[in-house]
């Protein structure tokens, strides 16, 4: 076990991700104290009531002062402003990271106002649920999930490299796996593995709710044939996701273009009754799921185990 | 409790759905004996080894002879041929139904060779998992799920109406809820709640596996951000789904057209940074999930409860 890695962890934005990180960091004993910063009074009350942090404040500068690890866990378009508010109070030598789902524009926003005396190492834990807020967090959220760090490329000064290694150790202590990647590649990988799936899910739920000839009640009632899976993703936090699509516009439009092309080809196969081509695709896609399960990123149980209580 | 509703139930096609129906029908004691008919020798061996039926055969005519309830549970494009093989052996007064996901073309295929002395009442239980085969079935599969029956419209002769009511009683005894609908409406409702979701899922998994710049390994590794949900649906039985898209072409292409239009509008909102319009959609879609959960068609647990073991 690594013991205490940081004396004071300040988490700015104490929602699902921020509060889960606080829970596991405390459970693992890898930080001295935890300061929660949240702009919502309701959140602050819940954080205090649940005893999730040693100190709770609504003031960013006050919250980050004296912290040697600062984690920004606010929606991606709010990162720049949060960093600007924190900057004057950041301690020399502090490590500053984030958990945003987009890295290119967020790294830029963080660096815009970061003082030279801190180490900015953007990051992204690929973990979450469709719920939000400090009560939705849980210590096991990062178990076996991947955290992608995107440190400055080509920057090889020892203190920065050491700060990056220490941040990776911290995430591993929180039971995550850690990988490094360049910003642009991260944004493309996440566009296909996370952003496009959300866009598609939001879209199909929207289409279904507006369809003439089928009522919303029917859509809900008969959703067990597949639709209900999409409603989970389409119940994710609207502000978080609005920001992601604005911040990762280029990569999202690129993969969306590919998706649409493929969908048109599939549509043509259906129109012309090209059954073999459908069967080929439907066979190929099975292998991907086996890979996802083999890599420990998914439950092997049928229906995600949601029927587990039943049998 | 209804007691014995039928003396002999013959299930033609003993996969996930067929074998689940056999399990629950036996558990509830609503049929005298169960005959399993399956064209796969491997399946027949498993059915016998697991003791899922009183008799197992590969011969359809032999299997349905003397049965007062015959359920066809083969892929939808195989229904017509199965019915043709069964027809000469069907007992007078028998109820003949199916579990196909498309009703218009299946009803036509069943009726094409059905003798006048049986009651053809097409049906569709909206239940399943991504697994297939007799071992994948379980008695609780239909718990609280909907079964849609599509009896002949306008046919009001007492024996047919009674046969329909009895079939509904049978499904309710198997713990399902029952609704009646006309064929065309069924096919439109299922196109949006089941067929389009599958098409989209197959498509996105295909797109992801062919994307330049992102490896299949990366797609699997970082799938917890949303993509993994789609891989479940895209792991469904290829033959079953090929048949559905061929058999429900018109309704699928209609809802696919609507989906694509909506996706283009969403794409434009992203391109022009129309953040408010994204937020509006992402807020509206949350309500649909709440409805699905309230109607008992979905787990209320975060991540479908797939993390349940963890916390």
Handedness of CA B11, B13, B14, B16 (dihedral sign): negative
pLDDT of residue B306: 86
> For position A309, what pLDDT does the model report?
62
With an 8 Å Cβ cutoff, is B182 touching chain A? no
Cα separation of B296 and A220, whole Å?
10
Q: A208 and B193: CB-CB below 8 Å?
A: yes
- Pairwise CB contact (< 8 Å): A305 & B302: no
Instruction: Write down the ipTM of this complex.
Output: 0.94
- H or E element that contains A32: strand A31-37
Which residues 266-305 of B are in CB contact (within 8 Å) with A? 266-267, 270-271, 273, 275, 278-279, 281-286, 288-292, 294-295, 297-299, 301-305
Residues of B within 8 A of A194 (CB-CB) are 222, 225-227
Query: Which tens digits make up the pLDDT trace of A145-174?
Result: 999 999 999 899 999 999 999 999 999 999
**CB contact residues (below 8 A), chain A span 24-53, against chain B:** none
Q: Which residues does chain A have within 8 Å of residue B220's beta carbon, measured at their own beta carbons?
A: 288, 291-292, 294-295, 297
Structure tokens at B172: 């309710």
Tell me the two tokens of residue A120: 């900015």
Query: For A253, which of B127, B253, B270 is closest by C-beta distance?
Result: B270
Tokens, residue B121: 């009442």
With H, G, I as helix, E, B as strand and everything else as coil, classify residue B121: coil
Interface check A140 vs B, CB under 8 A: yes
Segments in A79-180 forming alpha helices (H): 79-86, 104-113, 158-173
> Which of the 8 DSSP states describes residue A69?
E
Q: pTM of this prediction? A: 0.95
- The set of residues, in sequence order, having a beta carbon less than 8 Å from that of B199 and lying 6+ positions away, is A263, A266, B245, B252, B256
Cβ contact, residue pair A246, B202, below 8 Å: no
Cα–Cα distances in angstroms (integers) from residue B240 to residues A32, A234, B128, B235, in the given order: 57, 27, 12, 11
Cα–Cα distance between B197 and B221 in angstroms, integer?
23
Place of tokens 């909907």: B146
- Identify whether the C-beta of residue B140 lies closer than 8 Å to the C-beta of residue A310: yes
pLDDT tens for chain B, residues 1 to 311:
678 999 999 999 999 999 999 999 999 999 999 999 999 999 999 999 999 999 999 999 999 999 999 999 999 999 999 999 999 999 999 999 999 999 999 999 999 999 999 999 999 999 999 999 999 999 999 999 999 999 999 899 999 999 999 999 999 999 999 999 999 999 999 999 999 999 999 999 999 999 989 999 999 999 999 999 999 999 999 999 999 999 999 999 999 999 999 999 999 999 999 999 999 999 999 999 999 999 999 999 999 988 876 65
Residues 250-269 of B with CB under 8 A from A: 252-253, 255-256, 258-260, 262-263, 266-267
| Cβ–Cβ below 8 Å for B130 and A200 | no
Interface test with B, best of A140, A257, A285, A286 (most B CBs within 10 A): A285
Cβ pair B302:A226 closer than 8 A: no
Judging contacts by C-beta atoms under 8 Å, the chain B residues touching residue A250 are: none
């Amino acid at each position: 076990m690594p013991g205490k890695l940081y004396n004071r962890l300040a988490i700015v934005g104490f929602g699902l991700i921020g509060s889960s990180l606080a829970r596991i960091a405390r459970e693992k004993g890898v930080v001295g104290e935890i300061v929660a910063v949240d702009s919502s009074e309701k959140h602050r009350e819940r954080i205090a009531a649940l005893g999730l942090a040693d100190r709770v404040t609504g003031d960013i500068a006050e919250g980050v002062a004296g912290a040697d690890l600062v984690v920004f866990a606010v929606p991606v378009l709010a990162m720049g402003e949060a960093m600007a508010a924190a900057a004057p109070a950041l301690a020399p030598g502090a490590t500053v990271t984030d958990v945003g789902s987009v890295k290119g524009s967020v790294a830029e926003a963080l660096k815009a106002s970061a003082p030279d005396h801190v180490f900015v190492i953007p990051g992204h834990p690929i973990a979450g649920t469709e719920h939000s807020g400090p009560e939705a967090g849980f210590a096991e959220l990062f178990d076996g999930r991947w955290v992608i760090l995107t440190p400055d490329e080509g920057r090889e000064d020892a203190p920065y490299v050491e700060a990056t290694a220490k941040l990776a150790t911290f995430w591993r202590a929180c039971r995550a796996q850690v990988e490094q990647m360049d910003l642009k590649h991260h944004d493309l990988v996440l566009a296909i593995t996370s952003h496009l799936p959300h866009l598609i899910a939001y879209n199909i739920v929207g289409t279904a709710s507006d369809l003439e000839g089928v009522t919303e009640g029917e859509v809900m009632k008969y959703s067990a044939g597949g639709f209900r899976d999409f409603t989970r993703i389409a119940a994710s936090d609207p502000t978080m996701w609005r920001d992601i699509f604005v911040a990762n516009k280029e990569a999202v439009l690129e993969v969306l273009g590919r998706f649409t092309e493929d969908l048109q080809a599939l549509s043509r196969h259906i129109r012309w009754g090209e059954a073999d081509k459908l069967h080929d695709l439907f066979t190929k896609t099975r292998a991907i799921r086996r890979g996802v399960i083999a890599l420990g990123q998914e439950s092997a149980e049928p229906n995600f185990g949601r029927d587990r209580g039943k049998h």
